[in-house]
A = this chain, B = another copy of it.
Amino acid sequence: MSDSSSVANGPKSEIYEALTSIRLIDPHSHINPHSPASTTLADLLGYHYYTELAHSAGMPKSRIEDEAIGPKELVERLVGGLQPLENTAQYSWLIEICRTFFGFEDDRLHLNNWEALYDRSESIMASAQWSETVLDQSNVQAVFLTNDFDDALEGFDTDTYIPCLRTDDLVFHLAKPEVRGRLAACTGIELDGSLESLRSSLKQRFEHFVRRGARACAISIPPTFTPTPVGDGRASTALNAVLQKGISADASHLEALSRRVFWTLAELCDEFGLPFDLMIGVNRQVYPEGVFQGQDLYDSRVSLIQYRELFNSFPNVKFPISVLASVTNQELVSYAWIFPNVITNGHWWYSNTPSFIARDSAARLEAVPQTKQIGYYSDAYKLEFIWPKFDMYRKVLSGVLADQFVGDRGWSIERAVELGRRVLRDNVDEVFPRPEGAEASIAPEEITGVVGVATAVAGVTEVLQVDALPAEEEVQELGVDDVELSDTPEPTGTSADELETLVEDETLDVGNLLDEDEPTAQITPLRGETSFNPDDDSLQLQSDPTTGEFTLPVSDSDSDDTLEISPSEDDSPAEKTDPTAETVQELEEFDLEFLDDDEESK
């Protein structure tokens, strides 16, 4: 699946080929595990990179965010606005997806060729195993998620979709009643003004996440924030002010509470052995009239010196750090070179284009211990983007290795590839080990998440279980009004057993994917394809055209629009009572399924 045409022959090409054979774990994404892949091109073109760039190039927001637009109409509109973006790296991701996954053969997507692609891709994506196919074609073993703190983390295979506790809301928005409401609902602990209640509820979240296999705590941080400890007295005052006045509390109280919560999270990372991913530098809503998720920018005047006390105070917490601006990269290099607990992490967002990656990765590779560099993460919202984004990185990395290690330093190709493998894959395993205390994944491990490329077969028992019992997110996605969650389990119409008859029962031997010491055998296309052209016979399973999943039949007993969800085994009762009325309502106001991730969770 390598695109060797655009890589010159020689060491760069050889290194690139070797790197593409490395099976990946993507250490940061925004994948929704209940709907990991796309169902139509609208899921791809709806990615904020395209909406915001098209908007920036002149397309009115109303053309994109009109609730009444169907996915096909939306794609037509966006395609009509793509021409100004054809130079961008982001556009090249899109074309590469279309060529790699949908047999697209053109260089550009335009109003004369989009519809055939739309239809063809829709039928391909309708495969019940589409997510698995994408993962496999992309040579991806597992994907880290970005989970809201009150995510139940149920209904998906946590070995393939690895939970991460995202804490922006807790640190920066605890003053909002709805956030406190969510926290109380999922923990069963009401903030009563005592610091104990605050710590207990946060700790309960760590227990929940670690039990479900979470491998990181994560947060994005504005450039103005400086994490320092807050004494109990000050913190108590701040907490009580916030409990009384919410977001109207004095800014100094809001800020003190933020720092206290942040510091407590760091303590809990220490206690639970979780790395604390810091994504430093984003200013939210700089452009409030921008499109969804296209409103955030930054002030590059930030320094890691602001984290001095944090790094010193938590020597046993690993801090994988992403910086938004390339001008902060040298500081990141220097701090990772000195502090044992500082790790360089990927190329984030506005620095995730080739020229910034090239200069930033070169600086890291020559000065940070090789064991302390997480080369890349996709940040993707849909699985299809993992491939082109990692491939962009692999090409840049190959160039740096070829020029600066093989060329300038006389390394062998093999040694260069060894370094590439370390930053691409090995360090992910080592920096983010499975925490002690995690329960086994629900899914039977021997049949997890991988299917052959050219044969649409699978044993996706676990996925089917998900669909049988919808997760909270899925309920919300359906936009059902007045959802009431109860503790009473009740079978719904589609069972795993019924669906099993629809799929072939042959499962592929894909090796022991969980044994990190054993190199995973590379999956080879059966007929030696370099791209994937599914035949129609393989695609008989019909999925919901909107969600890409098996449809969720509304139970007959749901005449009052109440869905009843089975309780999970491992959480406090509060987690299953109705925490989300407000959230559901908010989401309903914004009905684009492919856009409904939390804008602050990027």
Residues of A within 8 A of B (CB): 3, 5-8, 52-53, 55-58, 84-90, 92, 107, 283, 286-290, 294-295, 297-301, 303-305, 308, 311-312, 315, 325-328, 330-331, 333-340, 350-351, 353-356, 359, 362-363, 365-372, 395, 404-405, 407-411, 415, 419
A335 — nearest CB in chain B belongs to which residue?
B297
A338 surroundings in chain B (CB, below 8 A): 52, 56, 286-287, 290, 294-295, 297
Contact assessment for B84 and A369 in the assembled complex, using a CB-CB cutoff below 8 Å: yes
A298 surroundings in chain B (CB, below 8 A): 305, 331, 334
Contact assessment for B289 and A366 in the assembled complex, using a CB-CB cutoff below 8 Å: no
- What are 6 A-B contacts defined by CB distance under 8 Å? A6-B407, A56-B372, A84-B372, A87-B365, A87-B370, A300-B331
CA distance A369 to B59 in the complex (A): 12
A415 — nearest CB in chain B belongs to which residue?
B107
With A57-B371, A287-B312, A350-B367 already in contact, 11 other A-B pairs whose C-beta atoms are closer than 8 Å: A6-B408, A7-B408, A58-B340, A87-B365, A87-B366, A87-B370, A289-B312, A294-B338, A295-B338, A300-B330, A355-B363
Contact assessment for A366 and B355 in the assembled complex, using a CB-CB cutoff below 8 Å: yes
- Determine how close the nearest CB of chain B comes to the CB of A367; give it in whole angstroms: 5
Contact assessment for B339 and A56 in the assembled complex, using a CB-CB cutoff below 8 Å: yes
Residue with the highest number of chain B CB atoms closer than 10 Å, among A299, A305, A338, A395: A338
Contact assessment for A369 and B303 in the assembled complex, using a CB-CB cutoff below 8 Å: no
Residue with the highest number of chain B CB atoms closer than 10 Å, among A6, A85, A300, A331: A300
A363 surroundings in chain B (CB, below 8 A): 353, 355-356
A367 surroundings in chain B (CB, below 8 A): 88-90, 350, 353
Nearest first, the 7 A-B pairs at minimum CB distance are A57-B369, A6-B410, A84-B369, A299-B305, A355-B362, A84-B371, A299-B303
A335 surroundings in chain B (CB, below 8 A): 297
Contact assessment for B371 and A58 in the assembled complex, using a CB-CB cutoff below 8 Å: yes
Contact assessment for A366 and B409 in the assembled complex, using a CB-CB cutoff below 8 Å: no
A107 surroundings in chain B (CB, below 8 A): 411, 415
Contact assessment for A334 and B308 in the assembled complex, using a CB-CB cutoff below 8 Å: no
Contact of A301 among B303, B312, B408 (CB under 8 A): B303
- Determine how close the nearest CB of chain B comes to the CB of A195; give it in whole angstroms: 28
CA distance A305 to B325 in the complex (A): 13
A356 surroundings in chain B (CB, below 8 A): 330, 363
Contact of A351 among B5, B330, B365 (CB under 8 A): B330
A333 surroundings in chain B (CB, below 8 A): 350
A411 — nearest CB in chain B belongs to which residue?
B107
Contact assessment for B311 and A287 in the assembled complex, using a CB-CB cutoff below 8 Å: yes
- Determine how close the nearest CB of chain B comes to the CB of A113; give it in whole angstroms: 16
A409 surroundings in chain B (CB, below 8 A): 6, 92
A326 surroundings in chain B (CB, below 8 A): 330
- Determine how close the nearest CB of chain B comes to the CB of A576; give it in whole angstroms: 40
Residue with the highest number of chain B CB atoms closer than 10 Å, among A288, A289, A405, A408: A408
CA distance A315 to B350 in the complex (A): 22
A290 — nearest CB in chain B belongs to which residue?
B338
CA distance A364 to B101 in the complex (A): 29
A303 surroundings in chain B (CB, below 8 A): 299-301
A89 surroundings in chain B (CB, below 8 A): 366-367
Contact assessment for A315 and B289 in the assembled complex, using a CB-CB cutoff below 8 Å: yes
CA distance A408 to B403 in the complex (A): 14
A339 surroundings in chain B (CB, below 8 A): 56, 287, 290
A369 surroundings in chain B (CB, below 8 A): 53, 56-57, 84-85, 87-88
Contact of A368 among B88, B337, B368 (CB under 8 A): B88
CA distance A51 to B503 in the complex (A): 58
Contact of A325 among B8, B86, B308, B330 (CB under 8 A): B330
- A407-B8 contact in complex given A55-B340, A330-B300, C-beta closer than 8 Å: yes
A372 surroundings in chain B (CB, below 8 A): 56-57, 84
A353 surroundings in chain B (CB, below 8 A): 363, 366-367
A85 surroundings in chain B (CB, below 8 A): 369-370
A3 — nearest CB in chain B belongs to which residue?
B410
CA distance A87 to B416 in the complex (A): 9
Contact assessment for A355 and B359 in the assembled complex, using a CB-CB cutoff below 8 Å: yes
Contact assessment for B52 and A370 in the assembled complex, using a CB-CB cutoff below 8 Å: no
Contact assessment for A53 and B337 in the assembled complex, using a CB-CB cutoff below 8 Å: yes
Contact assessment for A395 and B408 in the assembled complex, using a CB-CB cutoff below 8 Å: yes
A315 — nearest CB in chain B belongs to which residue?
B289
CA distance A289 to B301 in the complex (A): 27
Contact assessment for B337 and A5 in the assembled complex, using a CB-CB cutoff below 8 Å: no
A304 surroundings in chain B (CB, below 8 A): 297
A392 — nearest CB in chain B belongs to which residue?
B408
- Determine how close the nearest CB of chain B comes to the CB of A306; give it in whole angstroms: 8
- Determine how close the nearest CB of chain B comes to the CB of A577; give it in whole angstroms: 39
- Determine how close the nearest CB of chain B comes to the CB of A232; give it in whole angstroms: 25
A308 surroundings in chain B (CB, below 8 A): 286-287, 297
Contact assessment for A334 and B350 in the assembled complex, using a CB-CB cutoff below 8 Å: yes
A90 surroundings in chain B (CB, below 8 A): 367
CA distance A297 to B333 in the complex (A): 11
- A57-B340 contact in complex given A355-B366, A369-B88, C-beta closer than 8 Å: yes
- Determine how close the nearest CB of chain B comes to the CB of A14; give it in whole angstroms: 16
CA distance A372 to B53 in the complex (A): 11
A58 surroundings in chain B (CB, below 8 A): 340, 371
